[in-house]
Amino acid sequence: MPRSKKRSTRGGQHGAVQSSSDEDASIETLSHCSTCSDVMSGGDEGGEAGDDSEDFQYKLKGFIDSTVDKSAKTRQGALDGLKTAMATRLLYEFILERRMTVTDSIERCLKKGKGEEQRAAASLACLLCIQLGSGIESEEVLKSLKPIFKNILSDGAANIQARQAVATSLGLCTLVAEDDILDVYATMQGFESLFTRSYVREDGSRPALNPQTSLLHTNALLSWGLLLTICSASQVKDIIHNWEGVVFDSVWLVRHLPKLPRLLESEDVNMRIAAGETIALLFELARDMDPEFESDQWEPLCVKLGALATDCNKHRAKTDKRKQRSVFRDVLKAVEEGTFQTETIRFGTERMTIDSWVRKRTYDAFREFVGSGMNYHLQANEFIRDVFELGPPMLVDQATLKAMKISRFERHLYNAAAFKARTKARSKFRDKRSDVGEF
């Protein structure tokens, strides 16, 4: 992944996007962000973009000030407001001027806050790094917050929701901002110390884990897989050889991959899916280095993956089984045939193809934080476009965008016509069935 040490030359790009719907965000925050996005996007309502931009920045300054309020509820609302803004807009210049202040606020909320406040602060740290991109500024943010992240992650007495959020945020912050690959390996080792506790034991017994702890281990595994995508080829070789049963004295890996398929036996469907996708990712990386790669555990692994792709256990929820089958059909094809089910993401006038497990893991990680703002960031965020090799942002004027959009009235007419045609077709079909019955 390209990493630049130069300060970005991006201007303050105050673009507009669809409004986000973060859970538990204050109504005032959400409605305001939505309103500003609509106005600044040059929609039908019109309005003065400059005035709304100033009003929006005034609101953001208020949120930053409120992150040090005595009231936990006020701090929580301020964090959510900043999250919504950063997920749905590019605020580079604004954030750059207040980076240290925002970082200090996140640090304070992580140390002194509880539960949801810590979760929101951890997510905000990720969004801050995404806004700043891969460079000196984001590195300084990570340098300040990483010790706190690691303390929370390794503290068994810490709030479980905070640990879950940190397990996810530390992975993406490391991907964006970490410059030293040895520090990346050290972070991965911290994730391993968590998700390996979910391994089925040698005697076949399963560790007794509550759902919250299982989610923590799942998040750690997904972050480990995310960082695996930026490992060097030699490090991946160490992992692969270790899978084959050879012991290596690597910096961060002594043993665990031979046990990774055991996570497929977890009672938690999300852990099973995370394990399956990680195995598919590893096979893809291995075959990138050696197209003829095969594992001694290939056949039993395929049998296990096939069973999950056709799972019909009655004690499992139907939604879990449906979700699991869909994922493991793709995982099985990845292991057996080395194929990937491609997906096309459309945003603005462009499109991007998700054509590998590496690309999918990276896309899913970013989308978890920016949510509905992902399409906007794919269009306008230089760093994310660089990650997915999309080139510089395309400049499309508002007249072109407006010409591409169908008006609400035209859309209504089209839907009405389609409904009428569908009703007629179904009526004819029902008439034919009734004639057959009478005959």
Q: For residue 16, what are the CA distances in angstroms to 53, 181, 349?
A: 11, 36, 15
For the segment 339-364, the average pLDDT, to the nearest whole number, is: 93
Q: Would you say residue 82 has pLDDT above 50?
A: yes
Confidence (pLDDT) at 237: 59
Confidence (pLDDT) at 34: 39
Q: Would you say residue 27 has pLDDT above 70?
A: no
Listed by start position, the domains of the chain span 1-170, 409-438
Give the separation between CA 376 and CA 85, rounded to whole angstroms.
12
Summarize pLDDT for 160-219 with one digit per residue, the tens: 999 999 999 999 999 999 988 889 989 998 999 999 899 877 777 888 899 999 999 999
Confidence (pLDDT) at 41: 37
Which range is most confident: 22-31, 117-126, 246-255? Answer: 117-126
Confidence (pLDDT) at 2: 44
Q: Per-residue DSSP letters for 293-329?
A: ---TTHHHHHHHHHHHHT---TTS-HHHHHHHHHHHH
Confidence (pLDDT) at 241: 54
- b/e sequence 391-412, b meaning 16+ C-beta within 10 Å: eebeeeeeeeeeeeeeeeeeee
Confidence (pLDDT) at 178: 92
More confident: 326 or 423: 326
Confidence (pLDDT) at 235: 60
Residues 187, 227 contacting (CB under 8 angstroms)? yes
Confidence (pLDDT) at 44: 35
- The first and second tokens of residue 198, run together, are 């979910």
Confidence (pLDDT) at 254: 34
Give the separation between CA 173 and CA 138, rounded to whole angstroms.
8
Q: Would you say residue 60 has pLDDT above 90?
A: yes
More confident: 184 or 317: 184
Percentage of the chain beyond pLDDT 70 is 75
More confident: 429 or 328: 328
Residues 191, 224 contacting (CB under 8 angstroms)? yes
Percentage of the chain beyond pLDDT 90 is 49
For the segment 393-419, the average pLDDT, to the nearest whole number, is: 68
Confidence (pLDDT) at 399: 54
Confidence (pLDDT) at 406: 61
Q: Would you say residue 117 has pLDDT above 80?
A: yes
For all residues of the chain together, what is the average pLDDT? Answer: 80
Whether this prediction's pTM lies above 0.75 is answered by yes
**DSSP H or E run through 346:** strand 343-347
Which range is most confident: 247-251, 294-298, 334-338? Answer: 334-338
- The first and second tokens of residue 227, run together, are 């960082």
For the segment 354-372, the average pLDDT, to the nearest whole number, is: 95
- The first and second tokens of residue 246, run together, are 């050879």
Q: Would you say residue 5 has pLDDT above 50?
A: no
Confidence (pLDDT) at 150: 96
Side-chain-side CA neighbours of 48 within 13 Å: the count stands at 4
Which range is most confident: 129-133, 289-293, 433-437? Answer: 129-133
Residue showing tokens 């991946």: 236
The β-bridge relationship of strands 350-354 and 343-347 is antiparallel
Q: Would you say residue 391 has pLDDT above 70?
A: yes
Confidence (pLDDT) at 13: 40
**Nearest alpha-carbon partner for 110 in 59, 63, 75, 143:** 75
For the segment 317-345, the average pLDDT, to the nearest whole number, is: 88
Confidence (pLDDT) at 272: 93
The band of 415, judged by pLDDT with boundaries at 50, 70 and 90, is confident
Sign of the alpha-carbon dihedral angle for 46, 48, 52, 53: positive
